[in-house]
Chains A and B, each alone.
Chain A
């Protein structure tokens, strides 16, 4: 049985009149087990492969191999199906046109599915909304599947009117999770990232067909290790207070504030999806009415709610003090993740400015990003930034945009912008 623990890092001391409480709540899950094996609820996996004409022979062959590798990772007993997508979505396996659209993984079904994947050919356009909708329909056709996860591979720009994809994303949100991968440099991070963010998945760039197989294996292995089907982060805040934001800050930055569902008058629930044995950190910011010096109160109860019960609880506190030695201290974790969240934001803003030719803003934002990456010890971000800008002084954030930048490097910086490093805990 999975066990959760929650640890809170914060400076609970507020100065006279202070109202804002920031805390990092580190949630760790242990003993998660394997997806679909824990209880009555089954797990389902759908592999969605882009088969648009732009894929070409090399990418198409790599995608087939990757899909086959992913099928090999799906644990027997898991429900699955394979979808191909171009201008419309097609059910590749199982070969049915009505009834349940997923079958249980077994050596036989794995072999049949692999054979079906081998028949795929690249042709046609890219209408991702139809792919997402078919996945949703397939999951819905097998009601016992309660833990739903998909992998989506694409290589090109989505060809549909603005808003259509977003509507499909909205239909899938809260129903299944989806990890997205883009192959090559012709897809748009800004199109695919919203899918991954809304569907509690990851987004990444796969520069060449050669890396695809290993990536799909890894994604599926991670998915199968998520023995906790669904967990919710519940944040109670006192009457009269305001939850300023709730963000996941590790392993990636995901702002969950707008994802709040109402648990009761004082408690909001934020989706976190399925869990394996892992740690995730959340930054919770609460604004309280100030109290008198010497008063103490609870600013937030942060709970992990899974399987119908509270699995762990962390308490975020506020104590008003006139001792400035206490109130001016900034918690190391809070400072670190505040920097990392800003890093993600300035990278994205900097690249967006660069894309529209606003070099001045791009230089400022990416310079700040270099500064933050160095400050917070995010070596991956630093390395990726150095491929896009020439760093003159990292400490002050003085940079120049490189004249010639590989598009893949820019996209890699963009997709990696939300990845954070953890602060070493003493």
Chain B
């Protein structure tokens, strides 16, 4: 791709990385920017060595004043946010769109990714996909950039997008039996991790002494089948409305190693090196093959994929369930927002990502309207 074909940020004009959702210069969301048409002027045969810069990548017909996006509303008071990024009435700093973003690809899947309180930037990232109807397919990817590595905020965002692209198409069914389907799923999830790893490395300065690195947690929903893959200490939980919840896979962390050696979880997770991860994505990672697990959601509940910014405050499935219950909503986006707000209220010491999919059979009350619609529609 030549420079002219690259996308530029509509807000500040900075060049965008391939597939970027946010401008790295100004933080504006650019996911909706259409790929510009190739510059068709006399210089269309220019190569990368050409000495002049091209004025724009727009063709003449479409060149008008750039669309001015509607001002954002302040999260604190609802007044318009000024061009300088602060509320025009209360002065609160509006988070950059990299610092706080939400996704709700369908009514049953949503997530919130937030900078938290103590960290200067949001190195967590999240990418979600879901078919419109509950009971269909959904993909939840969460990566947590390692904060003492360089540019991990950029790398983690690239990683979630790369993994999502691998997982978005329906999985091949293999021979049709469960064992074969599991083997195929494991292979695709491993491919997704490898693709995420490649994306991280592509966003790493080759000379970096602390190459960008991140964790990865993936939740895959296909009907009642829930699969997950984990590298590092981001987690997937299955939290049924009734009955015991579970963490679907153990962490790749020192804390987990201590638990495996017989220490109680609470003690292990409070140990000084608890958060040191033993597996990660990045240029210096020796092993990027994820752990993989498959379960069947036989009761209604939530698949929760999250970063440690949430589970630091509620590691046990029961503790998380308590917060889910306290939120008092069965809508995924309000619930994700409530869990993030709760983690912030606990101190927000790390970036927080909460991705949720409503899983399991639909209770009678919940699907009644859907049935009616089918009857009458």
Please report A residues at the B interface, Cβ cutoff 8 Å: 237-241, 266, 288, 293-299, 301, 313, 315
Contact = CB atoms under 8 A, between A and B. Distances in A.
Contact of A297 (B82, B93, B117, B118): B93
A237 to B, nearest CB: 8
A238 B117 contact: no
A299 B91 contact: yes
Interface in B45-62: none
A315 B83 CA distance: 12
Q: Which 7 A-B pairs have the closest CB atoms?
A: A238-B91, A298-B86, A298-B91, A294-B117, A296-B93, A297-B91, A297-B92
Contacts of A237: 91
B91 A294 contact: no
Contacts of B117: 293-294
A239 B84 contact: no
A239 to B, nearest CB: 5
A296 B99 CA distance: 13
24 contacts: A238-B90, A239-B89, A239-B90, A240-B90, A241-B91, A266-B89, A288-B91, A294-B117, A294-B118, A294-B348, A295-B92, A296-B93, A297-B87, A297-B92, A298-B84, A298-B87, A298-B92, A298-B93, A299-B91, A301-B82, A301-B84, A301-B86, A313-B84, A315-B84
Contacts of A266: 88-89
A296 B95 CA distance: 10
Interface of B: 77, 82, 84, 86-93, 117-118, 348
Nearest to B84: A315
Contact of B86 (A241, A293, A295, A315): A315
A295 to B, nearest CB: 8
A298 B92 CA distance: 6
Nearest to B86: A298
B108 to A, nearest CB: 33
Nearest to A288: B91
A372 B23 CA distance: 49
A325 B86 CA distance: 26
A268 to B, nearest CB: 15
A263 to B, nearest CB: 13
Contacts of A315: 84, 86
A155 to B, nearest CB: 51
Given A294-B117, A297-B91, 12 more contacts: A238-B87, A266-B88, A266-B89, A293-B117, A296-B93, A297-B86, A297-B92, A299-B91, A301-B82, A301-B86, A315-B84, A315-B86
Contacts of B90: 238-240, 297
A33 B167 CA distance: 64
